[in-house]
Structures are given as C-alpha cells and as structure tokens.
Structure 1
Amino acid sequence: MYLITMLGNLLIILATILGPHLHTPMYFFLSNLSFVDVCFTSTTVPKMLVNIYTQSNIIMYRNCIAQMHFFILFSGLEIFLLTLMAYDRYVAICHPLHYTVIMNPRLCVLMVLASWIMNILHSTTQSLMTSRLSFCADLEIPHFFCELNQVVHHACSDTLPNDVVIYFAAVLWACCPLMGILYSYSKIVSTIRAITSLQGKYKAFSTCASHLSVVSLFYCTGLGVYLSSASMENSQSTARASVMYSVVTPMLNPFIYSLRNKDIKRALRNMLGWK
C-alpha cells in the first residue's frame, strides 16, 4: 500500500509538471495534494513497517514528538488543500467567465503558501505544548503511531491547556474548512440545477465527483477519530479509522483523480510513451 501511494502520487505530480495542458489552478492544487499525501503517509507508515519487521513498538521520545509534529502539519495541509480545491470548483462552475481573473497564478500560490504557514504554526504549537508534559514510566500508546490525543491523555501532568488547544484547533482546522466546502457545494448544486441540458449538468458534476469522493472518505474517517468522545475507550476502533484516513485515503487519491479524468490519463500516456 505504501509503494502504491508513493508511485501513484509521484506520477500525478510528474504528469502535472510535464503536461502543458495541466498547468491550471485545479491541477496545481492536485499536485500539491499529491505531494502532501506522499509526506503524510511517510510520517507513519515507514516506522510502522519497521515495527512489524522487528516485532518491536519502541520509539524514542524525540522521534515521537517529531512524528506527531509532521503528522499534524500534513493532515492540516490535506484539509486546507481540499478546501481550496472546493473553492476552485465553485469559481469554475458558478463564475466561469471570471475564472481566469479570480483564480490567477499569484492568488493560487499565495493561498497554498498561507496554508503552509498556518499549519506550520499550528503543528509547532501542538508539539511544543505536548513536549512540556511529563509522562510516567513504561508508557504504552495503543496506536500504530504517536497520535496527539493518545499521547496527551497518557501524560501524568495537567493536560487541560492541551485539551483546550486541541478542541479549539479541531474547530478551526476541521469544522471551518468543512463548512467552507459545504457552502461551496451548495452553491455548485444550485448552479447545476439551473443548467437546462443534461449534458451540461453531467459535465459540471463530473468535474466535482472526484473531489467529493476524496472529501467524503477523508472527513468521515478523520472526524470520526478526533470528535468521538469514545475514542479513548475503544482504541482499536480508533486505530482502524486512523489507518483509513492516514494510509488508505492517500493511496486511493491518485486512482480517484485519474481513472475518470481524461486530462490526467492523457498526460500519463504521453509521459510514459503510450499511444
């Protein structure tokens, strides 16, 4: 699964770089999403594979904090990029005549850069607050990686400030982008309903189908882990849900975006020399 994730996402990145017809905002965001997916899985899966091979679940404290830092960073970037892609589809369908003016290259780069800066600040804050906690001896985390909630709730010191920051960040980094995605698609649906021809409706909806699939898969598993009050009581279910959004979703993204996308398939054929 890890090799498929790496190969699929790297092919998407190469296709968008080498394909001149893919130098558009939609594929710019998609290539960034593929890069984040590669980094996202690389924070947890290699260590998990080492644990399986060595039959040992030991991780150094500083390595645990570093893993948690990068996991928070790239999961937040995934959420922000999915939101930017929803906004891109909203502008393309609801304001097609102004699309090239609104979604200009400078704005796209600034939005991605702002996403990186905000998530670096967020992940650094969470890591620093976790590093100030004290832990009892023989700590065992019932997870396959150093997940923030699991680590914080196994500390021996006061975790109230951490809990406040975690739930405040969950609202800002998960719920607010989700509201933005839902608002964008509510406008998209109302615009599509106003289109008279069936072919026009299908063409408009087909540009959003892949993004909707990825958003649904990521949010249904991700929010199920972080907003469930029973997450600490049923750690095995939490770990399974975490595998879905941290391993399975990044692996499926290249397939979801390429199997029904003629532009991506054309770029991949040209890149690989297939007629």
Structure 2
Amino acid sequence: MNQSRNLINTLLYFAACFAIPTASHAQLAATQPTLELPPSSGAWINSEPISLAGMRGKSIVLYFFEEGCPRCRDKWPSVMAASQQMQGKPVMLVAVNSGNPPTTVARYVRENNISIPVIVDTTRTLEQAAGVGTISLQNIYQAATIGPQGSVRPANAQDLLSSLQEAAVESTWNIDPATIPAALMPLWQQIEFGNFAGTGKLVARRLQDRKPEIKQAAETLNAYAKQQIQDRVEQAAEATANDSQWLAYQIKQSLNTEFAGYELPETLAKELAELEKDASI
C-alpha cells in the first residue's frame, strides 16, 4: 500500500474492505484491449513467465487482488484450496497485483504463503487489458478467464473454484499427462507449456531408452514438437508470401533458438542467412 494515500482513503479503508467488489459483469464484458502476459521474469513470482502461446488449448483464470485489504488476506486459504483442487486439469490460476513494485508484492506473497504464480502488474497494463476496473479499496478483487484461444471474459472472483471448473470444461491438454510416465513428467510439463528450449536433446536421449513406456512417451513428445516446428515453418512461408520478411525472419530465428536439438528443416540456416541480407530486416 502506497504510504502517500491520503486521509480520505484511510477513512474509507475498513468500509471498503468489506464491500462487494464494484465492477459489474457488464463492465467486464465491455470491449477490451488485446491482453498479453508479461514476458519478463521480473514480473513473475513463483513461476517463470507463462505465455498465451504456451497455454493455447488450456485456460487461465486471473485473480486480481488489493494487497491492503484484510478481507483479501483472509481469502487466500480458499484461493489456494481452489488451485489445489484443480491440479491435473488443463487450467491454471494466476494471481495479479497491480500498481505496486515487485518488492512490495514479493513481501506480500511470502507473508500470505501464496504458492500459485503471481504477476506483478506495476503499470496496471494487464488490469486494464482484462477490463476489471482499477483494483483498489473500492474494488478489492476481480477475476477474468483467458480461454483456450486467448479470448478474455469475466469470471467470478467470489467463487474461484467454479470459475476454474467452468474454464476446465472447454480446455484440453495438448499431450494427455495420463500417457506420460512419472520419470518424464518434468519434460512433459516443459513441452506442454511451450517451453521447448533445452528439451530437444533430452527427448532424443529418451527415444533410445530401453524401457518401452519411456520410449513411447518420448515418441509422443517428439511428434508434438515436430508438429509445432511444422506449424512455424508454415507461418514463415505465409509471412514470406505476404512480403512480411521481418516476420518470416523472426519466426525462423525462433525455430533456431527454441527448437535446438530437434530435427529442423535442412534449408533453415541458408534461409536465415538470405533474410539477414534483406534491407528491410
């Protein structure tokens, strides 16, 4: 809580903390800016950055909270319980605090034993994009769901479990975790959430495993990675066809970095070298 808040806000403090959040579903459903999750690791607590691309097919419920309100502090055990109950489902609960520096949010997270991912939305960019209104002592918590295709809609912050359950119904895993042996679950998690960097060599090693169940699971992971590579190749080709050389270059460069260790198109290095000579890049 910023120390500079004036006397009026101080007097409103306790009354506001026990009021029902003010933003209506109609307000939340209003036209919203494009929503993007912060790519910087400094904006995340309890998690590396999560991207919407990595979450495609799955859902995220964003829980926006006011850090200065006792009512919000009292709610955390039920928030954690809702997240725990949905483990293993293709939906993730992510908390968001807006308007405060990372050190303030990190201290709050420690004090309240919060273990779910937390976004530090210092500039309130995510808050605005989600259309939840300005979180404050007059609007102490709100929620929004990011669906499997990236669309944003209002969610029920007073019943996060129901919001998570509703989101899970429309969500699917890219790779069913039930088909993955426990030994490969960390690798599955990286690939499932779109973090391919560093997984190529690990998958290649597991493809030679003597245990049939490990080898079969590795083949599943490798097939999914190959499909993602093919999708990127097609996106790059479409960008080239539309004379978007810079976009084509970015896509091909991402293939080179993110999918190192996987089988990549033989022509990729040559194509990148040619694009680097393009004056528009």
> Greater Rg, structure 1 or structure 2?
2
Q: Structure 2-normalised TM-score?
A: 0.28
Which is richer in strand?
2
Q: TM-score, normalised by structure 1?
A: 0.28
Higher relative contact order at CA 8 Å, sep ≥6: structure 1 or structure 2?
1
